[in-house]
Amino acid sequence: MDNNKWPEVGDFVVCAVKNVTDFGAYTTLEEYDGKEGFIHISEIKAGWVKYVRDHVREGQKIVCKVLRVDTSRRHIDLSLKDVNEHQKRAKIQEWKNEQKAEKWLQFVAEEARLDKQQLQEIEDSFDTEFGSKYSAFEEAAMRGENAFSNLKIDEKVVEIIVKLAQDNIKLPFVEIAGHIDLTSSAPNGIEIIKEALRAASEVKMEDVRLDITYTGAPRYRIRVIAPDYKIAESVLKESAEKAIEKIEYLGGEGAFHRHAETAKA
């Protein structure tokens, strides 16, 4: 972790309780290279607190909200009482995911024989492009190599990242499919069908994967993986309509056959 990185006011942070006193608790911030934070007794719990140790103990992992950051004094004021149960669970999960991602990146570095600088460049690019390292792996799990088209990462490294992501991340996505029948009696019928398929494949939506495959004349399969069924249905319908609209415009015929819901990824 970058020693110069500091949390922002309002951030939720994972802390390890280092020392409990009568007037508060000293902690180290797990995500910020062990920088020290302090929770005043008034920020331990809403209402009157008689004994701080009734609420926190040495070695305990807790989630706090950042109240103030003084980089010149290397001091961070924290609040425990300003974190509700939902925020705590979400932050702990986010922290655990980032720990996983960091371990995966170490594996990538070993497999691709990357030096520390090369690994740091990838980590920085992940944080900048995706917001976090784990989010980068999530994108890789869903979009494959296309997730990194905007980044300058060696193809071999991308292959390792994608395989690792797809082997380890099970995304909460659904999969549906349908068929389109495309026919044309024109001399250039094959080209007309290709035009229709291109139109179908041009339907784009964030977090959605669209695949079109040939199953046997005149039938083509449209497969959609999306965050939920509503989005998947919308993309599937639009893709089929684009293909049929294009082939009919070019003098051919098209028909769409919807399948039942196929799977939940």
Residues 47 and 108 in one domain: no
Q: Does residue 8 lie within any of the structural domains?
A: no
Same domain, 66 and 18: yes
What's the pLDDT at 196? 94
Query: What does the pLDDT read at residue 259?
Result: 61
CA separation for the pair 130, 2 (Å, rounded):
18
Q: Do the domain assignments include residue 97?
A: yes
Same domain, 97 and 150: yes
Choosing from 147, 168, 189, the residue where a domain stops is: 168
CATH of the domain at 184: 3.30.70.1130
* Count of structural domains within the chain: 3
Is the same domain home to 35 and 79?
yes
Clarify whether residues 160 and 179 are in a common domain: no
In the predicted model, is pLDDT for residue 264 greater than 70? no
Domain boundary among 48, 83, 118: 83
Identity of the amino acid at 97: N
Query: What SS3 class is residue 207?
Result: coil
In a domain, 2, yes or no: no
Q: What is the CATH number of the domain that holds 99?
A: 1.10.150.190
Q: What is the pLDDT of residue 261?
A: 47
User: What percent of the chain lies above the pLDDT cut of 90?
Assistant: 68
Exposure pattern of 78-103 as b/e (b: 16+ CB <10 Å)?
A: bbbbebeeeebeebeebbebbeebee
The token duo for 161 is 């990242």
Residue that terminates a domain, selected from 83, 105, 126: 83
Helical axes 116-130 vs 133-143, angle rounded to 10°: 80
Q: Is residue 150 part of a domain?
A: yes
d(CA 192, CA 197): 9
> Is residue 5 included in any domain, yes or no?
no
Asked if residue 221 belongs to a domain, the reply is: yes
Give the pLDDT confidence of 214-238 residue by residue, as tens digits. Answer: 877 788 989 888 888 888 899 999 9
Residue 27 covered by a domain? yes
Looking at the fold, whether 147 and 220 belong to one and the same domain comes out as no
My answer on whether 37 and 51 are in the same domain is yes
Q: Which domain holds residue 70?
A: 14-83
Which two structure tokens, joined as six digits, stand for 155?
């193809």
What tokens were used for 138? 């999530």
36 occurs within a structural domain? yes
Question: Based on the domain organization, do 133 and 183 belong to the same domain?
Answer: no
What's the pLDDT tens digit per position in 118-163? Answer: 999 999 999 888 888 998 998 898 778 988 988 989 999 999 999 9
